């Protein structure tokens, strides 16, 4: 009797795993690890429906910048240099400045 119950449980778990692995998923996932001494590590996927062409852009410190969303866009001069990754050469989706500040963008339509 115990073997039959174990078999049924194992079969049910296998079927559930197959069901969930065969589902079409269209979402990005983020994982965050909070470690000792205030350390925070993040990782994420780019589970997008299309392949996203990406280029790396290097921005020097002291560069004049603008939000580029119209006449009232914020403007600033960068204090630190940065490396950014673009999507379709339109916008920055990931980046890191020389002091270690990181920005990532996730969005849903």
Catalytic residues: 28
Among the listed residues 34, 20, 74, 83, the one whose alpha carbon sits nearest the alpha carbon of residue 54: 83
Torsion of CA 71, 55, 95, 90, to 10 degrees: 20
């Amino acid at each position: 009797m115990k073997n039959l119950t174990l078999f049924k449980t194992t079969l049910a778990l296998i079927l559930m795993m197959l069901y969930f692995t065969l589902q079409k998923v269209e979402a990005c996932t983020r994982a965050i690890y909070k470690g000792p001494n205030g350390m925070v590590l993040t990782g994420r996927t780019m589970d997008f429906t299309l392949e996203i062409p990406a280029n790396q852009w290097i921005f020097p410190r002291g560069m004049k910048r603008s939000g580029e969303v119209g006449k009232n866009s914020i403007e600033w001069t960068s204090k630190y240099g940065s490396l950014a990754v673009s999507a379709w050469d339109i916008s920055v989706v990931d980046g890191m400045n020389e002091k270690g500040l990181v920005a990532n963008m996730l969005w849903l339509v």
